[in-house]
Structure 1
Amino acid sequence: MAAQGGYPATPQGQAEALRAIVNVVAAVPGGQGLGVIYREPTWTAVDGAGWDPGDPTSGDGWENQALFDYSGKALPRTAGLHRHRDTRQGREAMTIRTRGFFGRAALALVTVAATGAAAFGVGLAGGTHGAAHAAATLTNGGFEAAGGTQTPSGWGEYSWSGHTSASYTETGGRSGGYRLSHWASSAYQVETYQYLSGLTNSSYTARAWVRSGGGQYEAFMALRNCGGAEARVAIPTTGNWTQISVTAQVSNGQCTVGFVSNARAGNWINVDDVEFAGGPTGNPGVPGGFLVGADFSTLKKNEDRGAVYRDAAGNQRDAVQLLRSAGVNYARLKVWVNPTDGYNNKARVLEMASRAKAQGMRLLVDFHYSDTWADPGKQYKPRAWASYGVDQLRDAVYHHTYDVLSALKAQGTTADMVQVGNEINDGMLWPEGRSNNWANLATFLTAGAQAVRAVDANTRVMLHLAEGGNNSQHRWWFDQATSRGVPFDVIGVSHYLYWHGSISSLRSNLNDLAARYQRPVVVVETAYGFTTAQHDHEPNIFNSSLASAGGYPATPQGQADALRAVFDAVKAVPDGRGLGVFYWEPTWTAVSGSGWDPDNPSSGNGWENQAVFDYSGRALPALAVFGQV
């Protein structure tokens, strides 16, 4: 019979079997799943208490399904069956509360209550109190309800070592008065969780602000019982509040958000401001649907030097309006710290962000942490930071990031997404932050992410690598980042077909990264040439050799087809994790004085044959691809 039941005949198997039944009933739509009653939890084997009321010599065939062991010894603080009303959530629950464990496992279930007038009864919680919320929205994510308490309202606790008291709320919250904490004076194992039901099958992301003193065997946030494999993210060792996130695909209408500690004596974590969002109206972790993006960071400099832009019919138009009308819904703007030419600095980013937001675009801010270009071949520190040590660089990253983003928020153009670094395959802020010193690199990345979250918790953090088809390198890099608890929400890659490989290599890498790290993926830079002809004195980057390597002809139609192929690859990433595509510098046409080198005003433009406007400023067929996604 145990084999037929599907769970092992062990204390833990008993617990998991009951948990499964409770989850099924709690998931009934409309709050109509009323409850679960456990049959005869106290029917242990004693003479004269057999199954047959007509035969006093009959025995008990049920004792191995009771909640008490064969010695009949009462579990600590066994309270018995009672009905109580949880006034904080306006509902009733029928529970059997036990504060002990049958063989360190038995029935470790919290009371699960459905919202509304009807009560949801369960109980039989091994050392648990309270109610693990059973609805489609997460409740009490800030742990403010009821203040400091053993079990936070709306949450459940489970300990397979009998240490549920290691989970509790106390003063010292990040944004409010209280926080969730895990701590005990002896070794402990505990989970604080909340069960969500009635979900639309889609991708969902949980986020939380955390701190940890470290030293645990494990400490993580997880999404489980969502219909697929458990997704988890480690809680990093840090004394500063840091936001972490994890994404899972819900395929069974339900999901459990959990915080787990498997810890030594005295180890601790703090948790606050938990969020759970997603669903069919947006991509996981980033609301707003598929991103059709353009990085037009050089546009202002071009316009100031006389560039004009025309639609396909030849009518002169404002470039940002023209991009928006073509289908672009997301702007990407790079930030340099103190560039010589005065473009792409804080003031210019504020100006261009206002123009983009006025057209209804969302905003991705790309921090280079340099006074000039930062990419896999160079990551020069800003001149003002040249003599800084690691601690000073960490603080400079935080303050520069916070300064720019808080100014954007103050003018009503809050960043929706932020890149902490640009094409950082070999790190940033060389030499201290190169990838051969991941401890420093993780420190810098975490500082940037913390600044993003400090300005606005809804802004998503992206980490961005070049070489979008290089799976082995990307796995190594993101394994390093995740093992060190670097917080991020989105994976960004650059993929230029003529440099970084075929569409198939891009597709394979994106699919693997999305599945392996449970994050949405974006091609945050791509472009292709429509000609190999020159339009200024600067040699073009895209030439006949690269056109051959890219696999598409250097024609207006070839450019459009190459862009469409990249869009198609990203949209095909499984589970809706292909988030979008950004075209790099579609408006960077060749005008005198708007060259590539911010330190040299006579430099030319080697990119004009990859713009989506021809040499007269008229829109090319590639511009129309944005509206066909």
Structure 2
Amino acid sequence: MKRRTALTTAAAALAAPALALGTAESAGAQTAFARGADISSLAKSEAKDGVYMWADGWKEDAIWILQKSGVNWIRLKVWVNPADGYNNKTHVVNVAKRARAAGMNVLVDFHYSDTWADPGAQTKPAAWANYSVAQLKTAIYNHTADVLGAMVSAGAAPQMVQVGNELNGGMLWPTGRYDQLDNLAQFLISGVNAVRATVPAAKVMLHLAEGGNNSLFRWFFDAMKARGVTWDTIGASYYPYWHGSLSGLQSNLNDMASRYGKPVYVVETAYPFNPGDRDGFGNIISAATPVSGYPASYTGQSNMLTAIANVVKAVPNGRGAGVFWWEATWTAVAGNGWDPYDPNSKNGWENQALFDFAWKATPALKTLGTL
């Protein structure tokens, strides 16, 4: 989820009929519910003098605030050659080391781009722009293995790895777009193979946006299964003001868990604690009540998180495995904006972080940590 306008899913519109399934792979029930936070923006925030505080104003390292609040997973995205030098191998390794030192698990999210990869954009890294399919497969493998190998060497091996981000429309456009499913599958297989070779104990996640869109999820996972792609967990983005009802999310997660025999996660979600903004830059979500019954307030933010977590926990057979808050630490720090190419860009997300306009933890952080 990133530079959101309206989400469109060409893949769903053009999807081929669902392919026949064989026997679903087995997967053991999950015993530890993931109470996760994506903190991909943290390293840059800290470099730009961002601070984080408890509700009483006591300053502390954001990772330790999260950990002491009960968060047990962090998620970090990886870009190939980002213009601002963040969300790259060096910063991912450094933040992962800190998280592991705090006893937290780590999920690494490979975008396979120099910038945001989501349903509206899956741009090849500049260095890969003219690569053939074979060259792209090699580049995916090498990039994945390089980052993960550095993490292993640093004593910060991840427990889960996401191969691609919000793959509704494929990846590495146009070569691996939704209408090039054979190429897409080969790219995913290359990334998965790199994970399995470099961090054999890590679980592999495949991730789509639109968590309530069951036809999209069936189309994608059926197509990838038929083409030999393997995975261990399924991740869904679910933003309640974009992705439909909680009941639709429940139906889809239940179906995914049953159909493929895998644990499912809401690996991205968020909700505003305030309809306003702090940096004078309009926010992506600014309605006073983005979803009926859940105002943009501290209480509304906490209650929406609880409602989403209850959906995940209700997935049968213990396969509802966790919830991750997207960009929990992305506060309105000057210089830490949306566009890695523009140092003057600002943040349209700060009203959905888990730290408020005074840099203090919102009540929803405690909610997340006690799910």
| TM class by smaller structure | over 0.9
Residue of structure 1 in register with 2:347 after alignment: 605
What's the offset of the Cα at 1:454?
A: 0.4
1:577: Cα distance to partner?
0.3
Q: Distance in 2 between matches of 1:411 and 1:351?
A: 8
Deviation at 1:467, TM superposition (A): 0.2
Deviation digits for residues 124-158 of structure 1, max 9, x if unmatched? xxxxxxxxxxxxxxxxxxxxxxxxxxxxxxxxxxx
Q: State the AA in 1 paired with 2:332.
A: A
Q: Does 1:621 align with 2:368?
A: no
Deviation at 1:628, TM superposition (A): 2.1
Distance 2:41 2:277 in 1: 19
Per-residue CA deviations over 1:305-352 (Å, capped at 9, x if unaligned) read 111111122111110000001111011000000001000000010100
Q: 1:580 aligns with which of 310, 322, 329?
A: 322
TM-score, length-scaled by structure 2: 0.92
Q: 1:538, CA displacement in angstroms?
A: 2.0
Partner of 2:182: 439
Partner AA of 1:319 in structure 2: A
Q: Is the 8 A contact 1:498 1:550 kept in 2?
A: no
Following superposition, the deviation at residue 550 of structure 1 comes to: 5.9
Offset at 1:534?
1.6
Match of 1:526 among 269, 275, 283: 269
Aligned to 2:6: none
Query: What is the 5 A alignment of 1:92-241?
Result: 232=23
Q: Secondary structure of 2:169's match?
A: coil
What's 1:16 paired with? none
Alignment of 1:424-463 (within 5 A): 424-463=167-206
Matched AA of 2:326? W
SS in 1 for 2:241: helix
Asked whether the equivalents of residues 293 and 583 of structure 1 are also in contact (C-alpha less than 8 Å), the reply is yes
Q: Which residue of 2 aligns with 1:557?
A: 299
State the shift of 1:232 in Å: 3.2
Q: Secondary structure at the match of 1:580?
A: strand
Aligned counterparts of 1:607 and 1:548: Cα–Cα separation in 2: 14
Distance in 2, matches of 1:485 and 1:581, equals 28
* CA deviation profile, 1:75-121 (whole Å, cap 9, x unmatched): xxxxxxxxxxxxxxxxxxxxxxxxxxxxxxxxxxxxxxxxxxxxxxx
Is 1:594 matched up with 2:346? Answer: no
Q: 2:26 & 2:350 partners in 1: Cα distance? A: 39
Partner of 2:280: 537
State the alpha-carbon separation in 2 of the partners of residues 314 and 536 from structure 1.
20
Deviations 1:546-571 (A, max 9, x none): x3346410111000000111111101
* Contact 1:308 1:617 survives alignment (8 Å): yes
* Structure 2 counterpart of 1:506, one-letter code: L
CA contact (8 A) 1:571 1:579 kept: yes
Secondary structure in 2 matching 1:499 = coil
- Aligned equivalents of 2:180 and 2:203: distance in 1? 26
Q: Is 2:38 aligned against 1:247?
A: no
Q: Select 2:69's aligned residue among 326, 330, 334.
A: 326
Say whether residues 1:297 and 2:40 are aligned partners.
Answer: yes
Identity %: 56
Q: Deviations over 1:244-281 (max 9, x none)?
A: xx225xxxxxxxxxxxxxxxxxxxxxxxxxxxxx4xxx
Q: Separation in 2 of the partners of 1:498 and 1:510? A: 18
CA distance in structure 1 between the aligned counterparts of 2:296 and 2:36, rounded to whole angstroms? 22
Whole-angstrom CA distance in 2 between matches of 1:355 and 1:397: 26
Encode CA deviations 1:379-413: one digit per residue, 9 max, x unaligned. 00000000101110011001000110011111111
Between the aligned partners of 1:486 and 1:607, the Cα distance in structure 2 is 34
| Number of residue pairs the alignment of both structures matches | 351
What CA distance in whole angstroms lies between the structure 2 residues aligned with 1:548 and 1:364? 29
**CA distance in 1 between partners of 2:55 and 2:346 (Å):** 26
- Residue type matched to 2:349 in 1? W
Give the TM-score normalised by structure 1: 0.55
Counterpart check, 1:370 vs 2:370: no
Question: Secondary structure in 1 aligned to 2:336?
Answer: coil
Cα drift, residue 575 of structure 1: 0.2
Q: CA deviation at 1:450?
A: 0.2
Tell me, yes or no, if the aligned pair for 1:596 and 1:603 is still in contact at 8 Å.
yes
SS at match of 2:84: coil
Please list, as runs of the form range in 1=range in 2, the aligned pairs for 1:348-387 lying within 5 A after superposition. Answer: 348-387=91-130
Alpha-carbon RMSD across the aligned residues, in angstroms, is: 1.4
Q: 1:508 aligns with which of 237, 241, 251?
A: 251
Q: Is 2:117 the partner of 1:338?
A: no
Q: What secondary structure sits across from 2:281 in the alignment?
A: coil
Structure 1 partner of 2:228: 485
Higher relative contact order (CA 8 A, sep 6+): 2
| CA radius of gyration, larger in | 1
1:464 and 2:207 aligned: yes
Q: For 1:398 and 1:607, locate their aligned partners in 2 and report how far apart those are by CA, in whole Å.
A: 32
Deviations 1:183-238 (A, max 9, x none): xxxxxxxxxxxxxxxxxxxxxxxxxxxxxxxxxxxxx9xxxxxxxxxx836xxxxx
Runs of 4+ in 1 over 4 A off after TM superposition: none
What CA distance in whole angstroms lies between the structure 1 residues aligned with 2:360 and 2:214?
38
C-alpha distance in structure 1 between counterparts of 2:275 and 2:56, whole Å: 24
Q: Is the 8 A contact 1:538 1:603 kept in 2?
A: no
Partners in 2 of 1:536 and 1:321 — Cα distance? 26
Question: Runs of 5+ in structure 1 lacking a partner?
Answer: 1-219, 221-230, 234-245, 249-277
Shift in Å at residue 620 of structure 1?
Answer: 1.0
Q: Contact 1:291 / 1:581 at 8 angstroms: preserved in 2?
A: yes
Name the SS for the 1:425 alignment partner: helix
Q: Match for residue 158 of structure 2?
A: 415
Letter in 2 for 1:599: Y
Bigger helix fraction: 2
CA distance in 2, matches of 1:414, 1:355: 12
Partner AA of 2:23 in structure 1: R
CA distance in 1, matches of 2:290, 2:91: 37
Alignment match, 1:176: none
Amino acid corresponding to residue 350 of structure 1 in structure 2 = V
List runs of 5+ in structure 2 lacking aligned partners. 1-20
- Tell me which amino acid in the other structure corresponds to 1:459: A
